[in-house]
């Protein structure tokens, strides 16, 4: 066995295997081939996240209108005045006579005249703060303030007004002043009108945000689905080119499961990755930006919960990936068990084994159920844990915020906006838990897909580059030994056999003697571990596979019919069909008579596996396929085993005529099929024990004589 051909299951269970994200990067790169759709989808996703944050930020003016008497214009002017004075100012409402300083920066202009937190600012002209603060916000030069008087006995603290230089307005202050200028002059009095306009604007923004979300999801879905089509195509291309030794060891149902279930997991994971995994973190980032704008200290405190959340993601995700890999293998077992039962349903019913099959399928389903429950428990664990952490953090923050409100350091409207913002921020974080689980499941599926894609193909196993010309002299098996993967006993042992060009050689022997294995080595379905096979002196391992296999026509014991028309089955492997040649081939194989009786004739769509045909009809169609190819080398592996007695004579005559002048290998259990062979090779336990004509072998070979008496049914030594 070639050391490169390894079991996928053994590779998946290798003790040194480590969980990594290499496969995830590979499938992401495949999706990035459709960068146009992805770029459009991601741009729409970014716009959605931005617009969604804008709608969330719209809660602040709504709360400001409903909860605070200050109004939007007053809030904007107070915020700008506070920035220019280097201090935080208490909200101002109609009737107030002083402007209270809540906090003050170390380098504040107010510090130069002795202002401290808790002091009141007074306008020298005696104007109320609601009017005076607007002048501070828009001032182009210094303003005049009265120094604070902290007690009636403190005469020195009073005095005349002094000039105070203001800081220039920063970018945020300029934007606030511009926004305040858009409000109607009576905005603080007619709050309901302003509220209507704000809500109308929010509705438009939400509609645009949802349109962006729709476009983003559609474009990303198109890119991912096209990537999955490319991945299936690549997997299919690789599977068709894997050596037969792979299929001799691996389960077909597990391979089908990779095409169906594993790629479905990858598709779900990528859709989640490029939609939610991009959208939700962007929402978190934008909402964090809003939270920083509202209160940076609270936002930094909230971020202390990030490390525990990341650790939780990593631990659960690692377990999910491992559990999903086992689940996908269990799906393969279930597909295999179900396929076996359905394909052999006639036998199941004939032996009244419905209950037995039901129990067998139930056992497989129970193994799948155990893996599903394990995965469900892991997935169900993440959201509750995350929400618990979120509730604890939000509870502490609520107490902190409430304390600031009671100390008049925070307005009720800002408290409400912060509460809504922080609550909404946990929604995308909660969604990210599902994203991570999905991505880990996709990674498990990707591992199983790339385990197959990364296997070497038949062409990669050898450096064969010689294009073989048509056979001129002979085919020689030289001391050939082959053992199937996982088997302990060789199927073919030390076989040396020369077949001359144009010779018809029949190979006989009891079941399991190695007949089919021997002829399967010629088209290089398998590679012998010892010895070599020469084609006109050239080792076939040095020959290119297409040049070798184009010279061989194969008819197997199991008639292979594709779900296509008879014409497509006969001309299988040809890009352009020659209808006349196909009809001639069908006539030589005695297939034309039943094909023409079909409703659509040569264009009739046959059922899956040719189920609309009888066993003999399917076999004749397979023989017609070999006749159409017109190869110099023919292999008939029990080709007449399913032919009815009425057609057998016609088929044998067609085989005899078609084999004339060609190198032909025949495996058969019927004497009538092998008696026209130039030479008969007798095999037992993988070895060639004798060769000769029928007459010679019947006299000197006990095994051959026994086969004639038990399997060939009739055998007279005088027949040749």
**Model confidence over 19-76: pLDDT tens digits?**
446 777 888 888 888 888 888 988 888 888 788 777 777 777 777 766 666 777 778 8
- Of 299-313, 364-378, 673-687, which has the strongest mean pLDDT? 673-687
pLDDT computed for residue 690 by the predictor? 93
The model's confidence at residue 18, banded by pLDDT at 50, 70 and 90, is: very low
Q: Is pLDDT larger for residue 462 or for residue 212? A: 212
- Mean local confidence (pLDDT), 533-562: 87
The residue assigned the tokens 């946990």 is 426
Is the confidence at residue 4, as pLDDT, over 50?
no
Distance, CA of 608 to chain centre? 28
How far is residue 446's CA from residue 321's CA, in Å, rounded to a whole number?
11
The model's confidence at residue 301, banded by pLDDT at 50, 70 and 90, is: low
The pLDDT tens digits of the residues spanning 571-582 come to 887 778 888 999
Average per-residue pLDDT for the chain: 77
The pLDDT tens digits of the residues spanning 631-658 come to 899 998 876 665 666 666 766 776 777 7
Q: Is pLDDT larger for residue 13 or for residue 339? A: 339
Q: Is pLDDT larger for residue 379 or for residue 675? A: 675
pLDDT computed for residue 1 by the predictor? 37
pLDDT computed for residue 261 by the predictor? 81
The pLDDT tens digits of the residues spanning 73-87 come to 778 888 888 888 888
Phi-psi region of 598 (alpha: psi -120 to 50; beta: other; left: phi over 0): beta
- Mean local confidence (pLDDT), 256-260: 81
pLDDT > 70 fraction of the chain, expressed in percent and rounded: 73
Spatial contact of 720 and 695, defined as CB atoms under 8 Å apart = yes
Fold classified for 8-55+197-303+313-453: ABC transporter transmembrane region fold (1.20.1560)
Q: Give the dihedral sign, CA 448/449/452/455.
A: negative
How far is residue 720's CA from residue 709's CA, in Å, rounded to a whole number?
16
Residue 557: CB atoms within 10 A of its CB come to: 17
| Contacts of 551 by beta carbon, 8 Å cutoff, 6+ apart | 468, 470, 471, 631, 632, 633
Q: Output the CA angle 182-295-430, nearest 5 degrees.
A: 105
End-to-end CA distance of the chain: 40
Phi–psi pair at 480, nearest 5 degrees: -85, 130
Give the length of the chain. 720
The torsion of the CA quartet 144, 149, 153, 154, rounded to 10 degrees, works out to -70
How far is residue 298's CA from residue 573's CA, in Å, rounded to a whole number?
70
Q: Give the dihedral sign, CA 383/385/388/392.
A: negative
How far is residue 406's CA from residue 402's CA, in Å, rounded to a whole number?
6
The model's confidence at residue 719, banded by pLDDT at 50, 70 and 90, is: very low
pLDDT computed for residue 714 by the predictor? 43
User: Is-above-0.85 flag for pTM?
Assistant: no
Q: Which of 7-11, 38-42, 289-293, 309-313 is the least confident region?
A: 7-11
pLDDT computed for residue 348 by the predictor? 61
- Mean local confidence (pLDDT), 358-362: 75
How far is residue 96's CA from residue 64's CA, in Å, rounded to a whole number?
18
The pLDDT tens digits of the residues spanning 672-718 come to 778 778 899 999 999 999 999 888 998 899 998 888 877 654 444 33
The model's confidence at residue 200, banded by pLDDT at 50, 70 and 90, is: confident
The pLDDT tens digits of the residues spanning 86-122 come to 888 887 766 677 788 888 888 888 888 888 888 888 8
Domain coordinates in residue numbering, the chain: 8-55+197-303+313-453, 71-144+166-187, 464-551+664-720
Q: Which CATH architecture has domain 464-551+664-720?
A: 3-Layer(aba) Sandwich (3.40)
The pLDDT tens digits of the residues spanning 478-492 come to 999 999 887 889 999
pLDDT computed for residue 650 by the predictor? 67
Distance, CA of 431 to chain centre? 20
Task: Report, in this order, helix, strand and coil percent for the chain, each rounded to 5.
Answer: 60, 10, 30
Q: Give the dihedral sign, CA 646/652/653/658.
A: positive
Instruction: Give the tokens for residue 411.
Output: 């307005």
- Mean local confidence (pLDDT), 157-165: 70
């Amino acid at each position: 066995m070639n050391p490169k051909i390894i079991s996928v299951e053994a590779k998946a269970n290798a003790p040194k295997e480590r969980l990594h994200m290499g496969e995830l990067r590979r499938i992401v790169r495949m999706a990035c081939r459709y960068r146009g759709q992805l770029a459009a989808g991601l741009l729409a996703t970014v716009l959605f996240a931005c617009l969604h944050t804008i709608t969330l930020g719209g809660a602040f003016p709504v709360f400001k209108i409903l909860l605070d008497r200050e109004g939007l214009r007053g809030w904007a002017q107070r915020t700008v005045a506070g920035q220019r004075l280097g201090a935080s100012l208490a909200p101002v409402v109609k009737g107030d006579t002083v402007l209270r300083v809540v906090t003050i920066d170390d380098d504040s202009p107010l510090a130069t005249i002795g202002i401290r937190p808790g002091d009141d600012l007074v306008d020298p002209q005696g104007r109320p703060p609601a009017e005076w603060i607007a002048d501070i916000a828009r001032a182009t030069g210094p303003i005049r303030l009265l120094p604070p008087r902290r007690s009636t006995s403190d005469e020195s603290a009073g005095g005349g007004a002094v000039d105070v230089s203001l800081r220039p307005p920063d970018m945020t202050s300029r934007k606030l002043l511009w926004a305040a200028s858009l409000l109607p002059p009576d905005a603080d009095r007619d709050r309901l009108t302003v509220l209507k306009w704000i809500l109308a604007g929010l509705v438009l923004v939400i509609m645009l945000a949802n349109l962006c979300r729709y476009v983003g999801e559609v474009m990303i879905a198109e890119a991912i689905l096209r990537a999955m089509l490319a991945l299936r195509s690549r997997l299919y291309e690789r599977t068709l080119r894997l050596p037969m030794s792979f299929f001799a060891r691996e389960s077909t149902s597990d391979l089908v499961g990779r095409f169906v279930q594993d790629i479905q997991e990858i598709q779900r994971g990528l859709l989640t990755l490029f939609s939610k995994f991009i959208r939700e973190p962007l929402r978190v980032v934008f909402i964090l930006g809003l939270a920083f704008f509202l209160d940076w200290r609270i936002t930094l405190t909230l971020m202390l919960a990030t490390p525990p959340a990341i650790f939780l993601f990593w631990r659960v995700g690692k377990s999910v990936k491992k559990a999903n890999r086992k689940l996908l293998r269990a799906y393969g077992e279930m597909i295999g068990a179900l396929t076996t039962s359905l394909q052999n349903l006639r036998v199941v019913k004939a032996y009244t084994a419905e209950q037995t099959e039901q129990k067998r399928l139930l056992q497989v389903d129970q193994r799948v159920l155990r893996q599903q429950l394990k995965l469900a428990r892991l997935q169900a664990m993440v959201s509750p844990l995350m929400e618990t952490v979120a509730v604890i953090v939000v509870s502490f923050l609520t107490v902190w915020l409430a304390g600031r409100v009671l100390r008049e350091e925070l307005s009720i409207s800002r408290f409400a906006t912060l509460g809504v913002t922080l609550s909404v921020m946990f929604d995308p974080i909660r969604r990210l838990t599902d994203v991570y689980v999905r991505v880990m499941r996709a990674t498990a599926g990707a591992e199983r897909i790339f385990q197959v894609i990364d296997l070497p193909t038949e062409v990669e196993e050898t450096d064969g580059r010689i294009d073989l010309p048509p056979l001129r002299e002979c085919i020689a098996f030289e001391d050939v030994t082959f053992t199937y993967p996982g088997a302990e006993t060789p199927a073919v042992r030390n076989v040396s056999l020369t077949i001359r060009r144009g010779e018809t050689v029949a190979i006989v022997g009891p079941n399991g003697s190695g007949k089919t294995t021997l002829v399967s080595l010629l088209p290089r379905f398998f590679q012998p571990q010892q010895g070599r096979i020469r084609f006109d002196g050239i080792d076939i391992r040095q020959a290119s596979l297409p040049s070798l296999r184009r010279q061989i026509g194969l008819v197997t014991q199991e008639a292979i019919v594709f779900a296509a028309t008879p014409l497509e089955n006969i001309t299988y492997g040809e890009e352009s069909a020659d209808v006349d040649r196909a009809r001639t081939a069908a006539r030589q194989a005695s297939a034309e008579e039943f094909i023409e009786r079909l409703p659509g004739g040569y264009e009739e769509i046959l059922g899956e596996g040719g189920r609309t045909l009888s066993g003999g009809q399917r076999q004749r169609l397979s023989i017609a396929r070999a006749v159409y190819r017109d190869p110099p080398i023919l292999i008939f592996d029990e080709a007449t085993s399913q032919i009815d007695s009425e057609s057998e004579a016609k088929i044998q005559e067609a085989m005899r005529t078609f084999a004339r002048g060609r190198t032909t290998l025949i495996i058969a259990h019927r004497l009538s099929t092998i008696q026209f062979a130039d030479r008969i090779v007798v095999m037992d336990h993988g070895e060639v024990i004798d060769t000769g004509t029928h007459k010679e072998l019947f006299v000197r070979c006990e095994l051959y004589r026994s086969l004639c008496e038990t399997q060939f049914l009739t055998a007279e030594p005088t027949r040749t």
